[in-house]
Structure 1
Amino acid sequence: MDKNIKNKVVVITGASSGLGEATARHLAEKGAKVVLGARRTEHLERIVSDIKSAGGEAVYWATDVTKKEDVHALVHKGISTYGRIDVIINNAGIMPIAPMFDVRTDEWDNMIDINIKGVLYGIAVALPIFQKQKSGHIINLGSVAGIKVFSPGGTVYSGTKYAVRAISEGLRHEVGSIIRVTTIEPGAIDSELKNSTRHQESSVGVNEFYKLAIPATSVARAITFAIEQPDDVDINEIVIRPTIQDF
């Protein structure tokens, strides 16, 4: 177990599957105490049970990141259980791909609410806590689509992930003297993200693209790498793709 991860309290949103689940399991194996949030509590119950059975420490809280009060309750579940939090991983996200001319404003709203505002709500709850204890680590999940616009079809999704990257960099500049900030920008990773596309033609393309996906544990290891660095080292940005991926 790594001395800079062992006993750290890590809050993870979107923890019921994919990157969130893989990261929770990996960090728990390293000795972290994980606090898992998502809407699907039956999945969280299973993950927490598995972690505890393996000798780890974990709790969960039903969390919809579009609701500020839910994110607040998740973080404070960590504090009430373990006495503090050390890391928050703002991982929850959706990726409904569709051409702009389809004008799917409901999908646009959902992406903005989850991918941007959900991240901001996590920051808003954790930041005062981290400022008070003069330490902490905020990890935001971006995307390679926040580096290069994924179009046609992913224009609005890219917009949300560009926002995450900008928010993370501005936050680092503002609070970096005492709080670490990391943006993780994955390419095609095996998760449920691709399943949020409802536009039929786009869904075919997305599923074809994701045939080259690498396991979610690849991202879990990258997140672990950022957390386990000495306190005076801040890994600000990690871009991780399948070797074969050109986008």
Structure 2
Amino acid sequence: MSQNKQEESLADNNTKVTDTEVLEKLRLPVFKNLVLKKLADQVMVITGASSGIGLVTARMAASKGAKVVLAARNEKALKQLTAELNEQGHPAIYVKADVGREEDVNIIAETAIKEFGHFNTWVNNAGLSIYGHAMEVTNDDIRQLFDTNFWSVVYGTKAAVSHFKKEGSPGAIINVGSIFGDRGTVIQSTYAAAKFAVHGWTESVRMELEKENAPVSVTLIHPGRIDTPYNEHAKSYLDKQPGHRGMIYPPEAVAEAILHSAENPKRDMYVGSQAKAAALLGTLFPRLTDKVMEKVMYPTQHLNKPSQPMDENNLYQPGYGMHERGTNKGWKRSGSMYVKVSKYPVLSSMIAVGIGAIAWSAWKRK
């Protein structure tokens, strides 16, 4: 029977079926028994754990009972964080690693297995940026950024998939993308290009693993503008200091999305409505979005003070660690409602329908 006829027969069937049953009847791939462990029973690997999103995620995961394996280039910060967590009674180890090197990433996996016997979640979070016009940024700098932002995700994904398949038990890979992985931007063209690559890699790998029914959940996190030291660590070709201005979300909101995805198989998690809006508008109205980005993104990616010297950045060496927040300016949100809604889609849909019904009823009474 052709796929079209199969779809018609399903449509004619008055019996309610689940999404999983539909996929099975159409002979499309569906994960079998992909149930992820609770955080309290997990070992979680986190790259880029010495500051920003990685630091917050490590602390939150440990507080929920997860054993954490922390990776970054800044050994001093890793030692401090590991000691902090151990003193609080949370099992934690660290691996000094440059995740742009495949051998270092493999050492992270080997260390986690040696210490804890396995790992359940791998978070590809390490990242850095370059602020400058595309034609000004050197090719060497672009390659270095891709090593950290893209190739580290490739290496981490391969190490995690290999382990999960060998173990034969479900595990999660969580890749931290960006609003600029869905929609390009000015000034951070190199960063955007690398994040586009991360998004494409994540989607492609997810489909391949789903096709073979591998025991792996693959989630892409789409953060909006996040208040971390990211701007201070970045290499700057600008006259003024890089920084976010406008609506900014806390790193805790990204950590919340990551930890939810570690327990619940999710395809995507958007952090902040701006991230979802940028992706949607860029798809529906690409030229209009170009013009808006050209107008908005030039003045909102730097602060009103001179830029730090070009050689003060973390592109080729570790940046300072143990800072969760940065020096960004703007409207700083306390969290992301979009993340909370995404965690409870059925309940959120029911609330939205209820609000709509109330509004319709009120309008009809007029």
Q: TM-score when scaled to structure 2?
A: 0.62
Q: Kindly indicate whether the alpha-carbon contact (under 8 Å) linking 1:184 and 1:223 is maintained by their aligned counterparts in 2.
A: yes
Distance 1:143 1:31, change over 3 A: same
**Partner AA of 2:270 in structure 1:** V
The equivalent residue for 1:149 is: 184
Instruction: Tell me which residue corresponds to 2:142.
Output: 108
The farther-off stretch of 125-134 and 37-46 is 125-134
CA offset digits 1:123-162 (Å, max 9, x no partner): 12121111112221111111000011012x1222111111
1:81 to partner: Cα distance: 0.6
Q: Deviations over 1:194-241 (max 9, x none)?
A: 12131123x54x42x346422211111111111122xxxx20111113
- Offset at residue 105 of structure 1 (A): 1.6
Q: Does the CA contact (< 8 Å) of 2:173 and 2:218 recur in 1? A: yes
Greater CA deviation, 99-108 or 25-34? 99-108
Partner AA of 2:272 in structure 1: R
The match for 2:285 is none
Residues 151-170 of structure 1 mapped to structure 2, 5 A cutoff: 151=186, 153-170=187-204
The counterpart of 1:192, out of the listed 212, 226, 229, is: 229
- Per-residue CA deviation, residues 83-139 of structure 1 (Å, 9 max, x unaligned), is 001111011111112101214222211111111111111112121111112221111
Mean CA deviation greater in 178-187 or 190-199: 190-199
**Is 1:19–1:220's contact at 8 Å kept on the other side of the alignment?**
yes
Question: In the alignment, what sits opposite 1:17?
Answer: 51
Q: Which stretch of structure 1 is more off in the superposition, 5-14 or 96-105?
A: 96-105
> Do the aligned partners of 2:219 and 2:268 also contact (CA within 8 Å) in 1?
yes
Give the corresponding residue for 1:120. 154
Counterpart residue number, 2:330: none
Seen in structure 2, the aligned counterparts of structure 1 residues 199 and 246 have a Cα distance that, compared at 3 Å, is farther
The letter of the residue matching 2:236 is: R
Distance 1:240 1:7 in 2: 26
CA contact (8 A) 1:212 1:242 kept: no
Change (3 A) 1:245 1:167: closer
Write the distance in 2 (CA, Å) between the matches of 1:160 and 1:140: 13
Q: Report 1:34-73 matches (<5 A).
A: 34-73=68-107
RMSD, aligned CA: 2.0
Alignment: residue pair count: 238
How far, CA to CA, are the matches of 1:96 and 1:28 in structure 2? 31
Q: Deviations over 1:24-61 (max 9, x none)?
A: 11001111100000010111111111111222110001
Matched position secondary structure for 1:238: strand
Q: Secondary structure at the match of 2:44?
A: strand
- TM-score in terms of structure 1 length: 0.90
Distance 1:246 1:136, change over 3 A: closer
**Does structure 2 conserve the Cα–Cα contact (< 8 Å) formed by 1:190 and 1:210?**
no
Question: 16, 23, 42: which is aligned to 1:8?
Answer: 42
**How much does 1:182 deviate?**
0.5
Q: Distance in 2 between matches of 1:212 and 1:144?
A: 13
User: Greater CA radius of gyration, 1 or 2?
Assistant: 2
**AA paired with 1:180?**
S
- How far apart, in 1, do the equivalents of 2:259 and 2:51 lie? 17
The runs of at least 4 consecutive aligned structure 1 residues that moved more than 6 Å come to 242-246
1:27 aligns with 2:61: yes
Match in the other structure for 1:238: 269
**1:239 is matched by which residue type in structure 2?**
Y
Q: Is the 8 A contact 2:130 2:190 kept in 1?
A: no
